[in-house]
Structure 1
Amino acid sequence: MGERAEIVELVGSSTESWEDAVQNAMDAADGTIDHISGVEIDSEPTETDREGGETERYVVTLEASFDPEEN
């Protein structure tokens, strides 16, 4: 990575798992951001739309860093 880094916030969701929510966020970013050099989970993953004790959706917020000169 160069001397400068940009950080972007990503939000991913999934009906399957936390891991799938993270992967969905990364897949979406992959279409527009090249050379992601680091990822940090910015918040505790949350469960939403709980019906009858069943989790309907997993949501996670990430921060991804990248070198803007390489994009």
Structure 2
Amino acid sequence: MSSVAKVVEMVGQSSESWQDAVNRAVAELHKSVPDITGVEVTNWTANVRDGRVVEYKVDVKVAYGAEGGR
């Protein structure tokens, strides 16, 4: 395990749930950064239409090991 971590801020979106929005953000970053070690959700928002939530959004900070100079 690296003693130093890098952090990337991302926005995840989903029409299903906030949890799915987090999972989508992590999965997208995982395509290029396989050594993700954690995620912090910093903001939860949603779009509403006709009195119903239609899109969930999360701002996340995703941490990963800094080895290898990425």
Normalised to the residue count of structure 2, the TM-score between the two structures is: 0.87
Residue 54 of structure 2 corresponds to 56
Q: CA deviation at 1:56?
A: 1.3
Stretches of 4+ moved more than 3 A in 1?
A: none
Q: For structure 1, list consecutive stretches of 5 or more residues without a partner in the other structure.
A: none
Q: Counterparts in 2 of 1:1-71, with a 5 A limit?
A: 1-43=1-43, 45-48=44-47, 50-70=48-68
Q: For structure 2, list consecutive stretches of 5 or more residues without a partner in the other structure.
A: none
As a proportion of its length, which structure holds more strand?
2
Normalised to the residue count of structure 1, the TM-score between the two structures is: 0.86
The number of equivalent residue pairs is: 69
Identity, in percent, stands at 33
User: What letter corresponds to residue 10 of structure 2 in structure 1?
Assistant: L
